[in-house]
Amino acid sequence: CNDRTMAAATIDDAPGKRPRQGDGPGDGYFESYSYVGIHEEMLKCRRTDAYLKAIEHLAPHLAGKAVLDVGCGTGILAIACAKAGARVVYAVEASEMATHAAQIVSSNGWAPTVKVLHGRMEEVELPEQVDVIVSEWMGIFLLYEAMLDSVLIARDRWLRPGGLLIPRRARLWLCPLRDDGFRAERLDFWSDVHGIDMTCLRALAKAELCRKPRIEEVPPELLAASPACIADLDLATVQPAALKTVQSDVDFTSHVRASLLGFVSYFDVELADGEWLSTAPEEGPTHWQQVSFWWDTPLDISQGETLQTHVSAAQNVANPRCLDIRISCKLAARHPPGSVTQSGRDPASPSGLSSLASHALAPSHPTRLEKTFALDTLC
């Protein structure tokens, strides 16, 4: 195996990934959390360590308080809050895992403190307002699954004014990816398959690679610019309506002359004051991995050149747990002629970069190129 190979899967191919179904009864969203395997994967992910550490640090804010855990799963965070001194923890879980959570709570001696409520957050009744809401609601591309919607409903209904949210803030990041021979490495395979020229499959192979957002571990050295924050959610104030469409205009200025493969996105959340859980490529694997978007053709960018980018992620109309993600971008020159171009050529072509100067445009004159990813849905 090649070290540089991304362990790639589209969302369709990712069985251990978070559920892909909708919301109605019996459609599989909550059912998928009834399996132990998905909890094992989440518990083994460093997200759990990060939450437990943050809860421990927040002990002074939890002592004697009423806590609500939205989507408690096995109950691990609810118990951690109890251990940290909470007076009572309401642990709400819609899947059948609630039954097991109640057993775990009881066999660990936390039944007096942790009350497991089996039901949907939108429907359960709590006996009181709470001081703290804890939840691990993040999906792929942060918002996939739309579980944050349930957390905000819980906040508006059950959190006392000024109450604490864990996490308190969430950010979604986008960054252009260097190709760096990456795509060619995959596609060059077809030019000599056991001595047979299968170049005619190259275009088809490329289309398959680019067809959908890719859930994969992206090597951090492929990041081509400083990442840009495309959504910064203060969970105490963000309104549910704002989650229906998240969009942002961001500029990336390339540090180097490079051929771009597309974009990568990842997120981070602030669990406690200054304590972040980040799923960035350089932070090491999580079960979320990253989401990458590959262009059909590479985009050549020069040093100092700016990629004006618009990104939007909208909840799918038919299934709000899914996302329709669109990214469009164009090059705008900041520097003198000779530094700006876009090419439809394949990066595999070694002569690709030498002819750039002839396509150079005037400074500050945006190229005509505009590319919208035909990657509509993360479902």
List 21, 22, 35, 41, residue binding a second copy (CB under 8 A): 35
Shortest CB 103 distance to a second copy, Å: 4
In 3D space, the residue among 325, 330, 299 whose CA is nearest the CA of residue 231 turns out to be 325
- Does 199 participate in binding a second copy (rule CB under 8 A)? yes
Distance, in Å, from the CA atom of 226 to the CA atom of 219, rounded to the nearest integer, reads: 15
Sign of CA pseudo-dihedral 136, 142, 145, 148: positive
- Does 100 participate in binding a second copy (rule CB under 8 A)? yes
- Does 2 participate in binding a second copy (rule CB under 8 A)? no
Distance, in Å, from the CA atom of 268 to the CA atom of 243, rounded to the nearest integer, reads: 17
- Does 193 participate in binding a second copy (rule CB under 8 A)? yes
* Identity of the residue numbered 373: F
Give the number of other CB atoms < 10 A from CB of residue 216. 19
In 3D space, the residue among 207, 286, 217 whose CA is nearest the CA of residue 3 turns out to be 217
Within 13 Å of residue 129, how many CA atoms lie on the same side as its CB?
A: 10
| Residue 221 designated active-site | no
- Does 200 participate in binding a second copy (rule CB under 8 A)? yes
List 22, 41, 59, 103, residue binding a second copy (CB under 8 A): 103
DSSP secondary structure letter of residue 32: G
Q: In this structure, what token pair is assigned to residue 56?
A: 């421990």
| Residue 185 designated active-site | no
Contact 71, 93 (CB under 8 A): yes
Shortest CB 285 distance to a second copy, Å: 10
CA angle 50, 53, 59 (to 5 degrees): 140
- Does 63 participate in binding a second copy (rule CB under 8 A)? no
Distances from the Cα of 74 to the Cα of 97, 186, 210, angstroms: 7, 40, 37
- Does 74 participate in binding a second copy (rule CB under 8 A)? yes
- Does 111 participate in binding a second copy (rule CB under 8 A)? no
List 59, 111, 124, 205, residue binding a second copy (CB under 8 A): 205
Shortest CB 253 distance to a second copy, Å: 35
Shortest CB 59 distance to a second copy, Å: 15
In the complex with a second copy, the residue whose CB is nearer, 104 or 301, is 104
List 28, 41, 43, 276, residue binding a second copy (CB under 8 A): 43
In the complex with a second copy, the residue whose CB is nearer, 2 or 358, is 2
- Does 48 participate in binding a second copy (rule CB under 8 A)? yes
Q: Pick the catalytic residue: 125, 128, 145, 216?
A: 145
Cβ neighbours of residue 363 closer than 8 Å, sequence gap 6 or more: 333, 334, 335, 336, 337, 340
Shortest CB 247 distance to a second copy, Å: 31
> Which residues are catalytically annotated?
136, 145
Which residues of the shown chain bind a second copy in the complex (CB under 8 A)? 9, 12-13, 15-16, 35-37, 39-40, 43-44, 48-49, 52, 74, 76, 79-80, 100, 103-104, 107-108, 189, 193-194, 196-201, 204-205, 208
